[in-house]
Amino acid sequence: MCGRYATPDEAALERYWTIDRRSGNPLPERFNVAPSTLVPVLFRAEDGALELSAARWGLIPAWWTQAKLPSATINARSEEVAVKPMWRQSYRRSRCLMPARGWYEWRVRPGGESSGGRPGKQPYFIHATGSPVIAFAGLLAHWQAPDGAAVLSCALLTRAAAPAIADIHDRMPLVLSPADYEAWLAAEQRPEVLTRLLAGAREDFQGYPVSTRVNDPRNDFPELLEDLS
């Protein structure tokens, strides 16, 4: 599960990718991205250009017709992404990169309780050593709202946690190796290649405790990333 993460600013994205086109207004650096908000995504447009855009974090598949938007669509389990109706169309034809600095997970404090009597949780920021920018494997969908508005939305893939951070949480975002970015973005990609890309995801992560102020999605400032250890 990944329900919050931090995004780099556009200048950082330009240092890591040669962006051919931008659509929409530039998104600022964010330190506490929450579901349903706009996040930066990179994808190959029909003409082959690498496009930077803003997408709603929470996938709405193109075929969605209900008035109420789908829930729990920020994360797609990589183990079932090829077969589940919610994901499989985007997985086959519309993949993207979701740039990030890292993400947050919460670990239950041994013996500690919150004010409500439930186990207290300590938030951790998880990042890749030596990589200030990483890319989640993402899915993209173009949906038309009942009022005719075009909505671009996304979801990130998840997998079992890497050994170094498994004590924090048992799941993590699937982070692609830079060498695999182009293969992931290719419009027509063989299923066996996609399977290989998922299996070759990065595992070089570490986490450190951060302030519980990250629990409130209204808090969005650099101090949230400070290491409390």
Active-site option among 2, 51, 96, 154: 2
pTM of the model: 0.94
pLDDT for position 115: 52
- For each of the domains in the chain, give its residue range(s) and CATH number, in order of start: 5-225 (3.90.1680.10)
Q: pLDDT by residue (tens digit) across 119-137?
A: 689 999 999 988 999 999 9
For the question of residue 80 being annotated catalytic, the response is: no
In order of 4, 26, 89, 200, 227, the CA distances from 125 in angstroms are 10, 25, 32, 23, 8
Give the residue-averaged pLDDT of 163-187.
97
Among the options 51, 96, 105, 154, which is catalytic?
Answer: 105
Q: What is the dihedral of CA 158, 203, 221, 36, to 10 degrees?
A: -10
Amino acid, res. 141: A
223 as an active site residue: the answer is no
> Structure tokens of 131?
């990589």
CA distance linking residue 143 with residue 151, whole number of Å: 5
Q: State pLDDT tens for residues 74-103.
A: 999 999 999 999 999 999 999 999 999 999
Report whether pLDDT(117) > 60.
Answer: no
